[in-house]
């Protein structure tokens, strides 16, 4: 496994994917290319004043768009359309999906959903941010432009999902349903190397990640779980867990995946479906955590089972080590 590049790994594992004709490999390769460009730009953010800061516009979800949000959006969409291997893309930054309506792209089998820049509030302060992506096979038949139904599929239908973390190093982590593999970028030679083969998350952990500023507005079951995290039980040899919350989902998720822990974004009265978006934040990370032996649920069941009704649909989200997510589920079920 030593010195295997992500390009070699994709080609070598392509045969494990049923019905693979090399298109999925080309999509992953487009994502890899765009992530290198975005990573380079992010690393310059403190130097070039025209990179950081807000644009002055809001996305469809009423969130202020940052320059890097739009930069990353453009780079990923351009890289994906140029290869002729997907028929359309849906992004957090665009109200509607984009159909790559031309003869070549209409023949393609796949669609991509993407959060091009996750954790945008951390861009200006030199804190880790990320990109999340999800890949489905289109459902509509024929060589026609892609349709909304091609994007509104349950997480279970994903053929691949992954994220890039722009942290102390840049990493690409993805799954095609055969386990999870992580690759670290070597900026000196511009290549991602396999650094974390077959990633598995611990069954239990001692980290909980949640925006505790919202505590008063959480479901009683969630409050009880947070109280349990903070409690000490000498008989069970339980010490209080550590609270760790970066505010970039990718970064919080990545740490907990490796160390064991749980990330929560519950609903509140004001936000009855929480904040995070099902299709390009929760479902792809749910696919990864399940492949790594963990669990992901909403307040009403498994994330991967939810059939979306809207592109930018939100859901409450609890993801991480399976024993921890089980405990939250039990407490939530016993409280309503
Ligand atoms: P994005 O930057 O793509 O809009 O996502 C922000 C998300 C996620 O990254 C993070 O975990 C969460 O928002 C933080 O929300 P709070 O500030 O409400 O805790
Ligand atoms: Mn996000
Ligand atoms: Mn984003």
> What residues pack around ion ligand 3 (CB closer than 5 A)?
92, 115, 117-118
Nearest to 320 by CA among 299, 290, 300: 290
Mean pLDDT of 21-48: 87
- Decide whether any atom of ligand 1 lies within 6 Å of the 211 Cβ: yes
- Decide whether any atom of ligand 1 lies within 6 Å of the 115 Cβ: yes
Buried b / exposed e along 55-86 (16+ C-beta atoms within 10 A):
eeeebeeeeebbbbbbbbbbbbbebbbebbbb
Compute, in angstroms, the gap from residue 161 CA to the centroid of ligand 2: 15
**Nearest ligand 1 atom to alpha carbon 118:** 3
What was the pLDDT predicted at 66? 79
What was the pLDDT predicted at 17? 66
pLDDT beyond 80 at 60 = no
**Nearest ligand 1 atom to alpha carbon 252:** 11
pLDDT beyond 70 at 304 = yes
Tell me which ligand sits closest to the C-alpha of residue 122.
1
- Decide whether any atom of ligand 1 lies within 6 Å of the 63 Cβ: yes
Mean pLDDT of 255-281: 97
Provide the pLDDT confidence category of residue 22 given band limits of 50, 70 and 90: confident
The two three-digit tokens of residue 92, written as one number: 């957090």
Provide the pLDDT confidence category of residue 233 given band limits of 50, 70 and 90: very high
Which residue's CA is the closest to the ligand 1 atom numbered 17? 247
DSSP β-ladder status, 262-265 and 207-209: parallel
For residue 136, the cross-strand partners are 111
Nearest to 92 by CA among 297, 280, 292: 280
Buried b / exposed e along 269-291 (16+ C-beta atoms within 10 A):
eeeebbbbbbbbbbbbbbbbbbb
Tell me which ligand sits closest to the C-alpha of residue 277.
2
What was the pLDDT predicted at 260? 98
- What residues contact residue 56 under an 8 Å CB cut-off, 6+ apart? none
The two three-digit tokens of residue 149, written as one number: 């139904």
pLDDT beyond 70 at 50 = no
Provide the pLDDT confidence category of residue 178 given band limits of 50, 70 and 90: very high
pLDDT digit string (tens) for 73-94? 999 999 999 988 899 999 999 9
- Decide whether any atom of ligand 1 lies within 6 Å of the 249 Cβ: yes
Mean pLDDT of 110-135: 95
Mean pLDDT of 117-121: 94
pLDDT beyond 90 at 211 = yes
Compute, in angstroms, the gap from residue 270 CA to the centroid of ligand 1: 16
Provide the pLDDT confidence category of residue 56 given band limits of 50, 70 and 90: confident
What is the Cα 152 distance to its own chain's centre? Answer: 17
pLDDT digit string (tens) for 181-206? 999 999 999 999 999 999 999 999 99
């Amino acid at each position: 496994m030593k010195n295997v590049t992500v390009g070699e790994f994709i080609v070598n594992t392509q045969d494990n994917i049923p019905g693979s004709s090399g298109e999925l490999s080309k999509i992953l390769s487009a994502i890899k290319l765009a992530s290198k460009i975005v990573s380079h730009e992010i690393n310059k953010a403190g130097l070039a004043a025209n990179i950081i800061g807000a644009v002055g516009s809001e996305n469809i979800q009423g969130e202020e768009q940052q320059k890097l949000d739009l930069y990353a959006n453009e780079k990923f969409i351009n890289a994906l359309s140029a290869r002729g291997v997907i028929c359309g893309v849906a992004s957090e930054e665009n109200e509607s999906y984009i159909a790559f309506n031309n003869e070549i792209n209409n023949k393609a089998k796949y669609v991509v959903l993407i959060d091009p820049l996750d954790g945008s509030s951390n861009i200006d302060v030199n804190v880790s941010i990320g990109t999340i992506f999800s890949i489905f096979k289109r459902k509509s038949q024929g060589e026609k432009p892609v349709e909304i139904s091609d994007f509104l599929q349950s997480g279970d239908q994903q053929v691949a999902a992954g994220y890039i973390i722009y942290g102390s190093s840049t990493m690409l982590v993805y799954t095609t349903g055969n386990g999870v593999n992580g690759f670290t970028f070597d900026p000196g030679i511009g290549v991602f190397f396999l650094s974390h083969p077959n990633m598995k998350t611990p069954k239990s952990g001692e980290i909980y990640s949640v925006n505790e500023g919202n505590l008063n507005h959480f479901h009683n079951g969630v409050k009880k779980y947070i109280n349990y995290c903070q409690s000490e039980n000498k008989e069970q040899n339980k010490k209080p867990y550590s609270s760790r919350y970066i505010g970039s989902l990718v970064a919080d998720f990545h740490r907990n995946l490796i160390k064991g822990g749980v990330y929560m974004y519950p609903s509140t009265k004001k936000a009855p479906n929480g904040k995070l978006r099902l299709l390009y934040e929760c479902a792809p990370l749910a696919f990864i955590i399940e492949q790594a032996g963990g669990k992901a649920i909403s307040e009403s069941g498994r994330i991967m089972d939810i059939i979306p009704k809207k592109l930018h649909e939100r859901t409450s989200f609890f993801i991480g080590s399976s024993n921890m997510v089980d405990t939250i589920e039990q407490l939530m079920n016993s409280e309503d």
